[in-house]
């Protein structure tokens, strides 16, 4: 019993996630107490070496189980642990972009917008178009499953860098913020993925502007080497035809795309 209290106290002081990380040991200790209590009852409440069947003991067990359940729920609600976060940063994702994207993920999830919760896509427009600035992250494993080139809108700048973002119709600019994926279709650019912007005044015209994920020959490494930059879309997230379909298959059906640039750090919804 003393061992269990020590485990619980240490974890609780650290954080709810730390408490959840102790789940195996806590479960083992609680199980021992419960088995011992049952044994006492079976033999007419004869004292058991591990526990005395008393109201104080049972209350303690109940309190521990309650805290353990809370910790498990907290772990499920958090997209990832600090270890996963640091691992993803080491794989090449900006800590600023990732931190804000996770806040956006939790915000969108609480609104009930996410049904494909396994994948989080970050497009980092602080990087040039010649960099692989789209990362699709598997939140279960903490691994980047796609690291790809992606275009910016023509209205965001015709050079390497995206310098302007707009939610306005006919701006042909990229948008920032939290965007949810929807269904797929075959259109002008082949297999494509519809999107819906979740933030009023920031990206709420995504659907009306027909900003989607699609393939384009101007989104390839060959185009970038030849021209010193990628081509531009009218705001769509255009990918190389070599990977576009695979990426779409992973992220379709209610996952979050987070479009990042430093100027979004003070977003009122989740920053």
Same domain membership, residue 149 and residue 250: yes
Rounded to 5 degrees, what angle do the CA atoms 19, 24, 30 make? 90
Task: Please tell me the distance from the alpha carbon of residue 148 to that of residue 220, in angstroms, as a whole number.
Answer: 9
Among 16-20, 25-29, 174-178, which range has the highest average pLDDT?
A: 174-178
Number of domains the chain contains? 2
Report yes or no on whether pTM surpasses 0.85: no
Q: Do 214 and 248 belong to one domain?
A: yes
Residue 119 lies in a domain: yes
Query: At a CB cut-off of 8 Å and minimum separation 6, what does 177 contact?
Result: 104, 197, 198, 199, 202, 203, 258, 259, 264, 267, 269
Which residues contact residue 102 at a Cβ distance below 8 angstroms, ignoring those fewer than 6 apart? Answer: 79, 80, 85, 120
Residue 196: closest CA among 134, 133, 264, 257: 257
Residue numbers of the domain that contains 10: 2-77
d(CA 68, CA 22): 9
Residue 57 pLDDT: 65
Q: Is residue 269 part of a domain?
A: no
pLDDT for the residue numbered 51: 43
Burial class from Cβ neighbours inside 10 Å (0-12, 13-18, 19+) for residue 82 reads: exposed
Residues 18, 133, single domain; the answer is no
Q: Encode burial over 163-191: b for 16+ CB neighbours within 10 A, e otherwise.
A: eebbbeeebbbbbbbbbbbbebeeeebeb
Shared domain check, 260 and 154: yes
Model pLDDT, residue 80:
74
In a domain, 232, yes or no: yes
Q: Which two tokens stand for residue 61?
A: 């067990």
Q: Do both 158 and 195 map to the same domain?
A: yes
Instruction: Quote the percentage of the chain above a pLDDT of 70.
Output: 72
Of 11, 42, 77, at which residue does a domain stop?
77
Q: pLDDT band for position 7 (50/70/90)?
A: very low
Confidence tier at 230 by pLDDT (50, 70, 90): very high
For residues 36 and 61, the model is more confident at: 61
Assigned domain for 173 exists: yes
Asked if 73 and 86 sit in the same domain, the reply is: no
On whether both 64 and 111 belong to a single domain, the answer is no
Shared-domain flag, residues 40 and 145: no
Q: What is the pLDDT of residue 253?
A: 98
Residues 148 and 220 in one domain: yes
Residue 189 lies in a domain: yes
Residue 99 has pLDDT above 80, yes or no: yes
pLDDT for res 66: 64
In a domain, 270, yes or no: no
CATH of the domain at 227: 2.40.440.10
Which residue in 139, 135, 166, 164 sits closest to 243, CA to CA? 135
Instruction: Answer yes or no: do 52 and 186 share one domain.
Output: no
Residues linked to residue 190 through DSSP beta bridges, in sequence order:
187
Per the prediction, the chain carries an average pLDDT of 83
- 63-80, pLDDT tens digit by residue? 776 665 555 444 434 557
Domain end residue (candidates: 22, 47, 77): 77
Give CA–CA dist 227/243, Å, rounded.
Answer: 20
What's the confidence (pLDDT) of residue 18?
Answer: 43
Residue at 148 is within a domain: yes
User: Does residue 260 share a domain with residue 212?
Assistant: yes
271 inside domain: no
What pLDDT, in 10s, does the model give residues 184-210?
999 999 999 999 999 999 999 999 999
Check whether residue 191 and residue 89 sit in a common domain: yes
Last residue of a domain, one of 54, 77, 100: 77
């Amino acid at each position: 019993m003393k061992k269990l209290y020590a485990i619980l106290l240490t974890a609780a002081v650290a954080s709810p996630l730390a408490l959840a990380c102790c789940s195996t040991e806590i479960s083992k200790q609680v199980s021992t107490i419960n088995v011992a209590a049952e044994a006492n009852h079976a033999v007419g409440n004869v004292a058991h070496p591990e526990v005395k069947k008393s109201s104080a003991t049972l209350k303690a067990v109940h309190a521990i189980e309650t805290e353990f359940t809370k910790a498990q729920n907290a772990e499920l609600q958090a997209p990832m642990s600090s270890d996963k976060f640091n691992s993803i940063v080491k794989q090449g994702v900006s800590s600023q972009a990732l931190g804000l994207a996770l806040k956006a993920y939790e915000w969108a999830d609480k609104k009930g917008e996410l049904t494909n919760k396994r994948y989080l896509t970050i497009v980092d427009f602080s990087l040039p178009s010649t960099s692989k600035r789209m990362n699709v992250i598997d939140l279960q494993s903490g691994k980047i499953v796609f690291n790809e080139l992606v275009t910016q809108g023509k209205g965001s700048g015709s050079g390497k860098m995206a310098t302007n973002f707009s939610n306005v119709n006919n701006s042909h600019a990229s948008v920032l913020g939290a965007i949810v994926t929807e269904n797929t279709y075959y259109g002008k650019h082949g297999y494509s993925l519809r999107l819906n912007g979740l933030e009023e005044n920031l990206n709420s015209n995504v659907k009306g502007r027909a900003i989607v994920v699609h393939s384009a020959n101007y989104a390839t490494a060959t185009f970038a080497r030849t021209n010193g930059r990628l081509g531009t879309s009218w705001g769509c997230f255009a990918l190389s035809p070599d990977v576009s379909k695979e990426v779409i298959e992973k992220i379709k059906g209610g996952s979050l795309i987070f479009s990042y640039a430093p100027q979004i750090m003070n977003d009122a919804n989740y920053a």
